[in-house]
Amino acid sequence: MNKNQHSYLFRFVSHFIKFFSLALFGLTIAYVMSVVFDRLDLAATLLPIVFDWICRLGIILLCLIATTMVVESLR
């Protein structure tokens, strides 16, 4: 492997960041649409469940980013 190539872990984390950001953007659009169409009751029931999963995935993502930083700095 050349020094200029990214490791598998780095590519995995960058894809994870991309899809996590896209999911957050999609959830934001869905929430705004539910407010616009006055379906806030449906969004209010799903918000605690979705927020719990977002927090868990965000913590996993932060741990992966920290691991990748350590591995890449040792390389």
Mean pLDDT of 5-34: 91
Q: What pLDDT does 24 receive? A: 94
Which sequence spans correspond to the domains of the chain? 8-74
Per-residue pLDDT for 7 more than 80?
A: yes
Q: What single-letter amino acid sits at 27?
A: L
pLDDT, one tens digit per residue, over 31-57 is 899 889 888 887 788 888 889 999 999
Q: Name the token pair of 35.
A: 């407010």
Average pLDDT of the chain, as a whole number: 88
- Would you state the pLDDT for residue 45? 85
